[in-house]
Chain A
Amino acid sequence: MIVATDVHKRYGKLEVLRGIDLTVQRGEVTCLIGPSGSGKSTFLRCVNRLERIEGGRLAVDGELIGYKTKHGRLHELREHEIAAQRAQIGMVFQHFHLFAHMTALENVIEAPLRVLKLDRATAVARATDLLAQVGLEDKLDSFPSQLSGGQQQRVAIARALAMKPKLMLFDEPTSALDPETVGEVLEVMRGLAAEGMTMLVVTHEMGFARGVADTVAFMDEGRVIEAGTPEQVLEQPAHARTREFLARML
């Protein structure tokens, strides 16, 4: 589903990604772990072109992100073409970013109405189902400011799912939450994984990575240091750097 080869990204002189190689199979859950500043979130944001890359190749479902190949040359995609790619990739942010002037229901139906051009009845029916699925059937008319962090994040997940994405990106989805609401968000994510959603998750929740991930990739200083099953990476890490990081996480 995602194939990244030698992906480079820099902000001015600062090299954030120094050659990322990573493959995510369809239906798999991949967790990106690593110290802050290692480039995990930046890489995630490159996957739906919130950041542009300076080198390497990044493809989702066989399609290059942000470019197309014509006559053997890369051509930058136009804005609406990039929007079309993004519409198929769900994204969940650390700070939710719910539309503050819209109710939970309006947040979820907005993009299906405007981007997928669904009729209102269909969009509302689908959104109501999704909000029930994340346990918020009684919060349809609440504004984000009236919801707890965990509830807001669940609305944000429903909002992303309403676009029927083929891939879901999670950028530290529980880092901004109170400890007691972390569980409810992870529960929703577990349910999604069980349904076979392809997920790329930047997280510090080692319990989630161990229990749900098919692949865990450890990143440091803009590179993937090692990737493998949770048992390999979390129980018998091959690299000293991984061992150090894990020791500090416990």
Chain B
Amino acid sequence: MQPIDAVPVRRPGRWIAAIAVAVLAAAVVRSVATNPRFQWDVVGEMLFSERILHGLLLTLELTAIAMVAGVALGVVVAVARMSPNKLLAGAGAFYVWLFRGTPVLVQLLFWSFIAALYPTVGIGPFEADANLLITPFMAAVLGLALNEAAYMAEIVRAGIASVPEGQSEAASALGMSRLQMLRRIVLPQAMRVIVPPTGNETISMLKTTSLVSVIASSDLLYSAQLIYSQNFKQVPLLIVVCIWYLAITTLLSLGQAALERHYGRGVRRTRKESKPMRFLKPAVAR
């Protein structure tokens, strides 16, 4: 066998681009590190302060609750939209139209003012004062979850529609019930299409929760705002907030990649998997 000893193609463009990026990065790092007005000492001090950690906990709680409720309700709305019952399908479509068609910020404000519309909520003798029931936290959960459900419904619908009809036909030909078919055959395969956008939705939800600061729910951002309204250290506190959001987002991306691998079962191995944090291990051109 004759070895191939060829001269590789020269790629000067890549080298120039790489140098330009490196120089730019160095300049940014230098300025961030040396500019005293970033007040990195305050950042370090505040990063694990009690009030910030409290806010972080609430942000995580809100994200988790809103996503779980949003996914659950989203599946229901998606199934309704795909129902042969015209009224049910119409109700599902209306839901998506309403909650996807208005800004989530407006929806949050609306829920916090719901007591103006319905001073009491309940049925018959079980009535409660809406002002007591709809706390800022409840309003935040309602606003975020109901809005999320509209987006999740579309994602779930696309996932279910992506499973070939032959799969459900084969399942029913074997005598499986509709529920078994959905749970064992259709949904596991739909997950491959559902998981990646749901991961994006979760990351997006983590950041959207910062909107609840407008209804005085003390999440991560609102806690930071409360602190800097007293000590006027706006920039370092906003950096603290960013560090926490980035940290959680990184963890979520890793979890998403693991889920994608799990639900990629049975699909050809050559399929490209999403690689979170790719920029951390860049493939440098030779």
Which residues in A have their C-beta under 8 angstroms from that of B196? none
Which residues in A have their C-beta under 8 angstroms from that of B265? 101, 143
Which candidate, B55-63, B101-109, B134-142, B163-171, is the interface stretch facing chain A? B163-171
**Total CB contacts across the A-B interface at under 8 A:** 76
Interface digits, A136-157 against B, CB 8 Å rule (1 contact, 0 not)? 0000000111000000000010
Q: How far is the CA of A180 from the CA of B244 in the complex (A)?
A: 60
B:184-211 near A, CB below 8 Å: 184-185, 188-189
Q: How far is the CA of A83 from the CA of B179 in the complex (A)?
A: 12
Q: Which A-chain residue is minimally distant from B192 (CB atoms)?
A: A101
Which residues in B have their C-beta under 8 angstroms from that of A103? 266
Which residues in A have their C-beta under 8 angstroms from that of B167? 97, 99-100
**How far in angstroms is the closest Cβ of chain A from B82?**
17
Which residues in A have their C-beta under 8 angstroms from that of B166? 93, 95, 97
Inter-chain contact A114/B189, CB cutoff 8 Å: no
Query: B interface, how many residues as a size bin?
Result: 20 to 34
Inter-chain contact B174/A159, CB cutoff 8 Å: yes
Q: Please report whether the interface of chain B is mostly helix, strand, loop or mixed according to DSSP.
A: helix
Instruction: Select which of A87, A88, A144 is within 8 A of B266 by beta carbon.
Output: A144
Inter-chain contact B176/A114, CB cutoff 8 Å: yes
Chain A residues within CB distance 8 Å of chain B:
48, 50, 79-80, 83-89, 91, 93, 95, 97-103, 110-111, 114-115, 143-145, 156, 159-160, 163
Chain B residues within CB distance 8 Å of chain A:
164, 166-167, 169-178, 180, 184-185, 188-189, 263, 265-268
Known: A115-B175, A163-B175. 18 other contacts (CB 8 A): A50-B169, A79-B178, A85-B175, A86-B174, A87-B175, A89-B173, A93-B166, A97-B164, A97-B166, A97-B169, A97-B170, A99-B185, A101-B189, A101-B263, A103-B266, A110-B174, A111-B174, A163-B174
Instruction: Show 16 residue pairs from A and B whose CB-CB distance is below 8 angstroms, ordered by the A residue.
Output: A80-B177, A83-B177, A91-B174, A93-B169, A93-B170, A97-B164, A99-B171, A102-B266, A103-B266, A111-B175, A111-B176, A115-B175, A115-B176, A145-B266, A160-B173, A163-B175
